[in-house]
A and B are shown apart, each in its own frame.
Chain A
Amino acid sequence: MQQLMIQKPPFLRSGQTVSTMMKDMLLTLVLLLPLPAVHYGTHVLWVAAAAVAACFVSETAACMIAKRQVDISELSSVVTGLTIAMLMPPSAPLWLPIVAGAFAVFAVRVPFGFTGNNPFHPAAAGVAFVTVFWPQRVFAFSETSAASVLKEGLKPNQIPSEMLWGTEGGAIGTTAVLVIAACAVYLIVKKTVSWRITVCFVAAAGLTALLFPRIMVTPLTSLKYELLSGSLLFCSVFLITDPVTSPRTHVGKALYGALAGVLIMLMRRYGAFEQAACFAVLLMNAVSPVIDSFVIAVTARREARRNERQ
């Protein structure tokens, strides 16, 4: 006798689950580690391990306090930990990623209901937290970073082509531009991240750099320096594209990416810190539901007008 299966919608599935998305993110984040490990030494790996362990332990502790089942297969806490590690300086003391990880889990993930419910990007919040209170530790790079030179209104010593290989000063996972680009292609092809957000973010940031250069160089040189320095490209692939905190509508995603691109450039120019990506992401997370509501309202109004005409 055949059994009638009663299941919840959606009935058409793309094959993408939280677990597969997290695995893709994890793979790409791990790919960002070898280059800085070779360049700066094995301490980079310890920083990554500390961040991942902090997030995992915090998540497990939070699950036990909230009397929830601990789901190891979900991996989102590991992804949060690795993302935090990527935004740390290579010589960071181990307690710095631990503090950031604990804050990300206890203040941003857990109070809102764990995975899929957080209104703010946990890793961005964790890094922003340590940046606010320990800026000298977070920006303690062994070599002067291009972002800090640009912040002072000067032209960096490196030529833009030298900034592709991950050898300049900067956070662990943000300097290897070519690897980040390869990760972006992989994640977009696998549909783990939305190309609309990434493309609109980079385009808006690039356009702002072209039109309003911070330093006295040609617009094209300004564009190269702005895109290749700091954590802008890393942010465009790993932070701003978070499916939980970004808008759901296609137009909303494009608008969200573009606004974030402009915002990060404004924060680079007028903000207090050389790397403003995390703050820009958090501010955009706050307006993400508003963007969705706005897009839905405009679409509904347009459809209503079209129906009236017919």
Chain B
Amino acid sequence: MSGSKKKAKAQSQLMEKGGRRSSARGSKKTLQKRLMKESAGIFLNGLVFRNPVAIGALGLFPVVGAGYTMQNAAVLSLMMLVMMLPVCLLSGWVKIPVWIRPAAALALSGGMYLPAAALAKWLMPQAFSALGIYTVLMIGNSIILSRANDYAPSHITLAVLMDSLGCTAGFSAVIFLVAALRQIWSNVVAETGGIYHAGAYPLVGFLLLGMIAALIQHANAKRAAAERRAK
């Protein structure tokens, strides 16, 4: 195995459960530095480079179906934060057999919906009631379930925390951007004699998501090319 591959494997093992013993070499300070660097990388991956919505195509329904006003985006982002973080942390801490893990993640998500909904209803009552079924559907959000099911059980708490925060930030960034552009589109169409609430059409959501995904892919390709050149 070449040196760079070994290094990459050791880096990935660092955040995995039980991987610290085999991959952690050097002083405590060096280890802390590496942990910080890895954590920042995980957060940035969730936020931009491996954005769960734009690149992973997860959790599309809130963005496409309900992400057409900034108020909706705010409610859904808040619910995502309140639900995802505890669900993923609990999935990482509690040892659950693989066969029951998806059901357990769903049950945890359902349990966390209650405080999330209560908080959203208290902070933004009008926007919460306007969202209707979309808030309840957050229980089955594929970002929460996939990260709680696949990522959390095999990674250390710090990694799970950073991944949850990164994914929430990534989801929020996309939904806010899409909602802002859809609101602008609604105004433009209405002012030019077109239909009202043009931005609420799922077609607009899909088109914008496609463009955002293409931009991120382009940035990723450029980044990969720069890394290759640096090597």
Q: Point out the residue from A95, A111, A132, A136 that lies within 8 Å of B203, measured CB to CB.
A: A132
Q: At the interface, yes or no: B36 with Cβ under 8 Å from chain A?
A: no
Complex contact A133–B195 (CB within 8 A) = yes
Given contacts A111-B210, A111-B214, contact A137 B203 (CB under 8 A): no
Complex contact B214–A134 (CB within 8 A) = no
Contacts of B210 in A (CB 8 A): 111
Complex contact A134–B207 (CB within 8 A) = no
Q: At the interface, yes or no: A70 with Cβ under 8 Å from chain B?
A: no
Complex contact B203–A134 (CB within 8 A) = no
Q: Point out the residue from B192, B201, B214 that lies within 8 Å of A132, measured CB to CB.
A: B201
Contacts of A111 in B (CB 8 A): 210, 214
Q: CB-nearest residue of chain B relative to A99? A: B192
Q: Point out the residue from B193, B198, B201, B207 that lies within 8 Å of A136, measured CB to CB.
A: B193
Contacts of B203 in A (CB 8 A): 132
Looking at chain A's contact residues, is the secondary structure mostly helix, strand, loop, or mixed? helix
In chain B, positions 44-64 with a C-beta closer than 8 Å to chain A are none
Q: A240–B190 Cα gap in the complex (Å)?
A: 32
Q: Point out the residue from B192, B201, B207 that lies within 8 Å of A107, measured CB to CB.
A: B207
Q: At the interface, yes or no: A153 with Cβ under 8 Å from chain B?
A: no
Contacts of B214 in A (CB 8 A): 111
Contact with B along A213-257 (1 / 0, CB 8 A): 000000000000000000000000000000000000000000000
Q: At the interface, yes or no: B123 with Cβ under 8 Å from chain A?
A: no
Q: At the interface, yes or no: A271 with Cβ under 8 Å from chain B?
A: no
Would you give the shortest CB distance from A271 to chain B, in whole angstroms?
16
In chain A, positions 84-136 with a C-beta closer than 8 Å to chain B are 95, 107, 111, 132-136
In chain B, positions 196-226 with a C-beta closer than 8 Å to chain A are 198, 201, 203, 207, 210, 214
Would you give the shortest CB distance from A83 to chain B, in whole angstroms?
21
Contacts of A132 in B (CB 8 A): 195, 201, 203
Q: At the interface, yes or no: B96 with Cβ under 8 Å from chain A?
A: no
Q: A134–B207 Cα gap in the complex (Å)?
A: 18
Would you give the shortest CB distance from B139 to chain A, in whole angstroms?
32
Complex contact B207–A133 (CB within 8 A) = no
Complex contact A135–B193 (CB within 8 A) = no
Q: CB-nearest residue of chain B relative to A138? A: B194
Q: CB-nearest residue of chain B relative to A135? A: B195
Q: A217–B189 Cα gap in the complex (Å)?
A: 40
Contacts of B193 in A (CB 8 A): 134, 136-137
Q: CB-nearest residue of chain B relative to A129? A: B203
Contacts of A134 in B (CB 8 A): 189, 192-195
Q: A136–B190 Cα gap in the complex (Å)?
A: 12
Would you give the shortest CB distance from B66 to chain A, in whole angstroms?
19
Q: A86–B192 Cα gap in the complex (Å)?
A: 22
Would you give the shortest CB distance from B223 to chain A, in whole angstroms?
19
Contact with B along A151-192 (1 / 0, CB 8 A): 000000000000000000000000000000000000000000
Q: A70–B195 Cα gap in the complex (Å)?
A: 36
Would you give the shortest CB distance from A138 to chain B, in whole angstroms?
10
Q: CB-nearest residue of chain A relative to B207? A: A107
Q: A134–B201 Cα gap in the complex (Å)?
A: 13
Contact with A along B127-141 (1 / 0, CB 8 A): 000000000000000
Contacts of B189 in A (CB 8 A): 133-134
Contacts of B201 in A (CB 8 A): 132
Contact with A along B158-189 (1 / 0, CB 8 A): 00000000000000000000000000000001
Q: CB-nearest residue of chain B relative to A107? A: B207
Complex contact B194–A137 (CB within 8 A) = yes
Q: CB-nearest residue of chain B relative to A130? A: B194
Q: CB-nearest residue of chain A relative to B189? A: A133
Q: CB-nearest residue of chain A relative to B198? A: A133
Would you give the shortest CB distance from B68 to chain A, in whole angstroms?
14
Determine which residue in A95, A132, A133, A136 has the highest number of CB atoms from chain B within 10 A of its CB, and name it: A133
Contacts of B192 in A (CB 8 A): 95, 134
Give B residues with C-beta under 8 Å from A. 189, 192-195, 198, 201, 203, 207, 210, 214
Q: Name the 9 nearest CB pairs between A and B, nearest first.
A: A134-B194, A133-B194, A133-B189, A133-B198, A137-B193, A133-B195, A136-B193, A107-B207, A134-B193
Q: List 9 A-B contacts (CB under 8 A).
A: A95-B192, A107-B207, A111-B210, A132-B203, A133-B189, A134-B192, A134-B195, A135-B194, A136-B194
Query: Can you name 6 extra interface pairs (CB under 8 A) apart from A133-B189, A133-B195?
Result: A95-B192, A107-B207, A111-B210, A111-B214, A134-B193, A134-B195
